[in-house]
Structure 1
Amino acid sequence: MATAIKVEHVSKRFTMSYHRTMKQMAVAASKGNKVSETFLALDDVSFEVEQGQAIGLMGLNGSGKSTLLKLVQGVMRPDSGTVRTRGRIAGLIATGAGFHPQLSGRENIFLNAAVFGMSEAETRRKLDSIIEFAGVGKFIDTEVGHYSSGMGARLGFAVAVHVDSDIFLADEVLAVGDKPFRQKCMQKIDEIRKEGRTLFYVSHSAGSVRRVCDRVIVLEKGVLGFDGGVDEGITYLHYDDDDDSGTEESLGADI
């Protein structure tokens, strides 16, 4: 079977600044205090994903999951190592990513779809279905800047799932929105899985990972801690499997 994603010895470093202004930095430096500090969000991570596999990417907040997804999607580059992918990539890795706050929801659908490589004609064919899935109603012609975080996430996810992709990335897409929408998202992810597309699914929910994934990768402070079976991965994390509905609770931001 063909390889869909190949990550080889990937590391990504970020700089964390302790001060916001030049004056604050100058004062701190004069006192011998640290002005900034670098840290490894990912440290020598390697794995391969075969076409059609459904991967549950798990780990505590700050373990590097979102950084890894951004590298796979190509919106970031690793400082060392290589990330190779095969085919078109779609998915939602950040609420409201690619949206212009001064454009309406309808206009942002075309903008976001273009980012994913969809033509205008393809977007027009799918427009009604995208709007119906998003469920924002009359607000579709309102500026996205006035949307709640849940409405923005619904619109972003609605566009992403209508892209004819080979690889689908989902980063905590179910951490926002009401229960009916979260259930609708899980049903769509089930469909993506059954279509044979490669799924890379970030989740803190043992129940949803068991439902849609056949393999678990665990990151621990940027290092690959586990790569194997779903049950074994959940046990490795000591996650209680008390979420049989496959829905998410918001557990905060990741890196």
Structure 2
Amino acid sequence: MARIKVENVTLHYPIIGAGDRSVKNRLLNFATGGKITRDSGTMVVTGLDRIDLELQDGDRLGLIGHNGAGKSTLLKVLAGIYIPTQGSVDIEGRVVSTLNITLGFEQEATGFENIFLRGRLLGLTSAEIEDKLEEIAEFTELGKYLDLPVRVYSSGMLMRLAFAIMTSLESDILLMDEVIGTGDARFIHKAEARLNEFMNKAKIMVIASHSDDVIREFCNTALLLKNGTPFAQGEIEEVLEIYQSADYQT
């Protein structure tokens, strides 16, 4: 059984050395809806404000909102990347996230070596990686390039490798920041089939997306955020309608 319970979570970012009249300050005010305060000369941005959330097996949550609404920030809190300033996060189950799928890659290491490096970073044992190695290599279609340093790879080749590694994992809880697509049309079709299988295996899934179609296709409930604060939560169509409303857009 997998479970996520978030209670009264607030997250503040301290930003040191940014003046009130700086371009950075104006941009941050725009991106966060003006939720910036100052404490002893340090700028404080509120990334999340009083988030409550409870998910269990079968839940597919779509995170909706404009840029800077807090979608990616909430995913990072759930992934354990950010620690809340206040409140609690209780996670039961193995978490896999797509927030940075090339994290841990070494440019001078070969494709095969990076499969091991990335796999170990994701918590797999050497034996588990060995079991997945052939299947990962076959899916990438990189052939002899897997014996070369990844610094010679194109961005598309690197994403193929990272995608193949990530989707070889088994997760109880899957956290996704947009749905991944990479490569030419034929490979994208192949990747979509693999991604769907990967997503279906997860007991709980949380996706942040700007695409209404993605939210409709993959989710069964939605949370609308505005300036880091919950604005609406519930049925997909109801929340999407609120997202387009004047109340939210103003």
TM-score, normalised via structure 2 length: 0.78
Quick one: which amino acid aligns to residue 16 of structure 1? I
1:226-241 residue pairs with structure 2 within 5 A?
A: 226-238=232-244
Q: Partners of 1:147 and 1:36 in 2: how far apart?
A: 42
Aligned partner letter, 1:7: V
Q: 1:184 to 1:44 in 2, by over 3 A?
A: farther
Q: 1:153·1:173 contact (CA, 8 Å) conserved in 2?
A: no
Structure 2 distance, partners of 1:141, 1:223, is 48
Per mean C-alpha deviation after superposition, the further-off stretch among 211-220 and 101-110 is 101-110
The one of 102, 106, 115 equivalent to 1:96 is 102
Give unpaired runs (5+ residues) of structure 2.
19-39, 246-250
Identical-pair percentage? 34
Match 2:229 to one of 195, 219, 223 = 223
Gaps of 5+ in 1: 20-33, 240-255
Match of 1:160 in 2: 166
Structure 1 residue 111 corresponds to structure 2 residue 117: yes
Between the aligned partners of 1:124 and 1:102, the Cα distance in structure 2 is: 21
Aligned-pair distance for 1:174? 2.3
Kept in 2, the 8 Å contact 1:95–1:149? The answer is: no
2:218 corresponds, among 205, 212, 236, to 212
Letter in 2 for 1:10: V
Normalised to the residue count of structure 1, the TM-score between the two structures is 0.76
Give how far 1:230 is off: 1.4
Cα distance in 2 for partners of 1:71, 1:58 equals: 16
Name the CA shift for 1:183/1:37 in 2 (closer, same or farther; >3 Å).
Answer: farther
Give the match for residue 71 of structure 2. Answer: 65
Output the amino acid matched with 2:89: V
1:13 matched to 2:12? The reply is: yes
The C-alpha deviation readout for 1:71-98, integer Å capped at 9, x for no partner, is 1111221111111111111121125223
User: Residue 54 and residue 180 in structure 1: after superposition, are their counterparts in 2 closer, same or farther (change >3 A)?
Assistant: farther
Instruction: Assess, with a 3 A threshold, how the Cα gap between structure 1 residues 57 and 131 changes in structure 2: closer, same or farther.
Output: farther
Distance 2:129 2:77 in 1: 26
Aligned to 2:91: 85
1:77 is paired with a residue whose SS is coil
Q: CA deviation at 1:184?
A: 3.9
Offset, 1:107: 1.5
Cα distance change, pair 201–131 in 1 and its aligned pair in 2 (3 A): farther
Letter of the 2:129 partner, please give it. Answer: T
- 2:44 equivalent to 1:38: yes
Query: Aligned partners of 1:17 and 1:222: how far apart in 2?
Result: 21
- Amino acid of the residue matched to residue 176 of structure 2? A
Structure 2 equivalent of residue 131 of structure 1: 137
Q: Residue 196 and residue 75 in structure 1: after superposition, are their counterparts in 2 closer, same or farther (change >3 A)?
A: closer
User: Which stretch shifts more, 37-46 or 145-154?
Assistant: 145-154
Cα 1:134–1:231 shift into 2, 3 Å: farther
Supply the distance in 2 between the matched residues of 1:83 and 1:5 (Cα, whole angstroms): 7
1:130 Cα shift? 1.8
Counterpart code for 1:92: T
CA contact (8 A) 2:61 2:206 kept: yes
CA displacement at 1:7 relative to structure 2: 0.9
The answer to whether the 8 Å contact 1:10/1:78 transfers is yes
Alignment of 1:117-196 (within 5 A): 117-174=123-180, 177-195=183-201
Alignment root-mean-square deviation, CA: 2.6
Structure 1's 216 and 122: CA in aligned 2 closer, same or farther, altered over 3 A? same
Contact 2:2 2:173 in 1 (8 A): no
Cα offset, 1:212, TM superposition: 1.2
